[in-house]
A and B are shown apart, each in its own frame.
Chain A
Amino acid sequence: MGIAAAASVVVVLVMLALSRSINETKLNVACVFGIGIGLAIGNAVLALNLSWPPRNGLDRLLMIVVPAVLGVELIAGFNRVPRVAAWLLRISLSLATPRILLNGSVYLSSSGDWTAWRAGATIVVCGLGLALVWSLLSWLSRRSGGLSISFALCLAIQCSGVAVMLAGYIKGGAAAIPFVATLLAVSLSLRMVTKHAASRVEIDKPNGFVAAGIVGVGVVSLFSLLFIGRFFGDISTGPALTILLAPLLCWTTELPPLRNRKPLFVASCRLALVAIPLLVVVIAAMREFDREMSPLLGKMSKNDGTTQQTSHRSS
């Protein structure tokens, strides 16, 4: 995924190098294009067998939801767009995302698993959950900022990929990798620009700046990967919710004893707090994987008088 990350860095640096003065809008536009191009390259490298019209939830995430969130963040990033309008777009997308991901599945068919009422309620609750996480992280990024918010999101996305993969949906888990690579690359390149080209940067808190696009793409991709893993794969609701809500633990550093500490301490606290539940979920997923999937990996029990051996994953 180095190539996806490198492409994102190049796009961000080139776009910002061409600007005399760098304001929040320009940073956000560069971020959106950096993520978009990085993801396109990353997914092409992964060869996820995408098709149009989309055939499954992952296709719909990568070909409808991600372009939509990039579009929303591109529009919302302009100063002229009122904040209310930007949030209306984000909330609309949040409510539409679960419906888009479930399209054509047994959950929405008349002869399927769910009643219309249950399907509607699930879509609304999940959509509101996504909007809540998105708004709380956006608020935190504007309030105190910090690269640690992006890192926490990337950590959660990577863990969601691992959890989905360990639950048996390999391609769904692998799809997390380009997201992590591009979001990290864009976050670091924006940080590099705000640090090394400080004279050209015209924003309030250049050190703690987190582009809205990073939070938007990060939260929506995290939610969608978990949603697909839950409804099309075999990940349980508990672990999925834990991973989705883990980045909100960054808010803990807004408590009075931690609020005015040094940025490095605050960032370390945030990452440690976010990492703890994620680690618990991943360890539990690994144990379950070892218990359930070991026969498929060709692991023989020692009780059989044979030595442990591992062959190719076979399914």
Chain B
Amino acid sequence: MIRILSASTQMLVCGAILCVYTTPTFAADEYDYDLVHSSVSFKARHLDIGWIHGRFNDVAGKFSIDREDPSKSTFSLTIKTDSVDTANEARDKHLRQPDYFDTKQYPTIEFKSTSTKAIDGGYEVTGDFTMHGTTNKITIVLMGGKEHSFKNVKRVAFSTELALKRSDYGFDKKAIGAIGDKALIMIDCEGVRK
């Protein structure tokens, strides 16, 4: 009898241990940037009277979203400057040259979050934004973050707009004439869960 009790106690202990180690803990969800359903576009003033619109066609990124502890969420985005597209090939070639993006010297624009805060309807993300070889700390408001499952693939979407001054990123101030200093960047991205 004692032997049976002892055996059942051992089984209980082992079971408890197994339960502790196999119960899923609430880890952060990791998402890859979905290039098909996302876009990074921009607009800049032309002659201070109109706007020129453009987009970057080659973008990659990763999000890690911790629903329990949003401060542990991370966001990163890498934009290939060579993929600039303003619907005018000659202008795109010009924008790739050293007078503007200098794509052979600075092939990417990058954002890497350093801190994240949950806000109503999204996240406030602070991070390092590197463009044209200059890194500045910026804070962006990412709206969205609701998860949606479609054909067994989990997706999450965010959108944000930010305004940057090109002169803050080492662009030649003399080249800031016809094209305004301020550029608005619009990011609408979907992440696909790994």
Contact = CB atoms under 8 A, between A and B. Distances in A.
A315 B105 contact: no
A314 B176 CA distance: 10
Given A232-B105, A315-B94, A55 B133 contact: yes
- What is the predominant secondary structure among interface residues of chain A facing chain B? loop
Given A56-B98, A106-B104, A49 B172 contact: yes
B104 A234 contact: no
Contacts of B99: 168-172, 315
A295 B90 CA distance: 8
B98 A58 contact: yes
A232 B102 contact: yes
B179 A315 contact: yes
A47 B46 contact: no
A195 B136 CA distance: 58
A234 B98 contact: no
Question: Max chain A CB contacts within 10 Å: which of B100, B104, B179?
Answer: B104
A232 B100 contact: no
Interface string B166-188: 00001011110111000000000
Given A49-B173, A106-B104, A232-B105, A314 B97 contact: no
A232 B107 contact: no
Contact of B95 (A171, A293, A311, A315): A315
A78 interface: no
Contact of A112 (B98, B107, B170, B175): B107
B88 interface: yes
A312 interface: yes
A296 B97 contact: no
A233 to B, nearest CB: 5
A107 B170 CA distance: 21
A169 B96 CA distance: 10
A106 B46 contact: no
B163 interface: no
A57 interface: yes
Interface residues of B, number: 28
Contacts of A169: 97-99
Which of B88, B91, B98, B172 has its CB near the most chain A CB atoms (within 10 A)? B98
A51 interface: yes
Contact of A107 (B95, B104, B172): B104
Interface string A33-62: 000000000000001010100011110000
Contacts of B46: 314
* Residue among A56, A58, A104 with max Cβ neighbours from chain B (10 Å): A56
Nearest to A315: B94
Interface string A254-267: 00000000000000
Given A51-B170, A232-B97, A234-B97, A104 B90 contact: no
B47 interface: yes
A314 B179 contact: yes
Contacts of A104: 105
A302 interface: no
B93 A105 contact: no
A313 B47 CA distance: 10
A232 B102 CA distance: 7
Nearest to B171: A49
A51 B169 CA distance: 13
Contacts of B95: 315
Contacts of A296: 88, 90-91, 94
30 contacts: A47-B174, A49-B174, A55-B105, A56-B98, A56-B105, A57-B98, A58-B98, A105-B104, A113-B104, A168-B93, A168-B99, A169-B97, A170-B175, A171-B172, A172-B98, A232-B104, A232-B105, A233-B98, A234-B93, A292-B89, A292-B93, A296-B88, A296-B90, A296-B94, A312-B47, A314-B46, A314-B47, A314-B178, A314-B179, A315-B100
Interface of B: 46-47, 88-91, 93-100, 102-105, 107, 133, 170, 172-175, 177-179
A-B interface, 6 closest residue pairs, ranked by CB to CB distance from nearest: A49-B172, A168-B94, A314-B178, A292-B90, A169-B97, A315-B94
